[in-house]
Amino acid sequence: MTEVAETGNQAVVRFIERFSAVFTDSGMARMPSRVFVALLVSEKGRMTAAELGELLQVSPAAISGAVRYLGQVNLVRREREVGSRRDVFQVSDDVWYEAVFKKDQALERWYAPLQDGVDALGPDTPAGRRLDETLAFFKFIHREMPAMLTRWRAYREETFGA
């Protein structure tokens, strides 16, 4: 039985459902939202697929698809349980920093295709201007991200001593 389920704390289970609904309303699919929140509220930030399935009352297939998606968007990582063939899914204590940092790195991959679109459409066309502004926005975010993440680390240290 999972550490959350062992406590019999229905308030925590209700929280998982309520908070995951916020993620779902923001565009994340329902099952990845539920799995992510379940991992966030687990004591160690890590659970097996069986534990997640038991807690959320869903099939192993549902968990598998959810953790695959969460791994792709850098919110969860998969590890092998020591001495076992079971996978453990984990959120980092600094999950948001890591997700934003990795997303920032991905922005660079969008530069060349966007520039190709601007060139193909022409920078003076409405569509070309939209793509050019999109490219400028991503470059701006990419340029500003390191300083913002540095400020976050300082704020985190000041606030949580971590």
Q: What share of the chain has pLDDT > 70, as a percent?
A: 94
The dihedral sign for the CA sequence 60, 96, 44, 38? negative
Q: DSSP per residue over the chain, as a string?
A: --HHHHTT-HHHHHHHHHHHHHHHHTT--HHHHHHHHHHHHSTTSEEEHHHHHHHHT--HHHHHHHHHHHHHTTS-EEEEPTTSS-EEEE--TTHHHHHHHHHHHHHHHHHHHHHHHHHHH-TTSHHHHHHHHHHHHHHHHHHHHHHHHHHHHHHHHHHH--
Give per-residue pLDDT as tens, 83-134: 888 889 999 888 888 777 777 777 888 999 999 999 999 999 999 999 999 9
Q: What percent of the chain is modeled with pLDDT above 90?
A: 65
In this predicted model, what pLDDT tens digit does every residue of 14-23 receive, in sequence order? Answer: 999 999 999 9
Mean pLDDT, the chain, rounded, equals 89
pLDDT of residue 82: 79
pTM above 0.85, yes or no: no
Q: What is the pLDDT of residue 4?
A: 55
What are the residue ranges spanned by the domains of the chain? 3-90, 95-160
Q: 3-90 architecture in CATH?
A: Orthogonal Bundle (1.10)
Q: Which amino acid is at 136?
A: A
How confident is the model over 34-48, as a mean pLDDT? 94
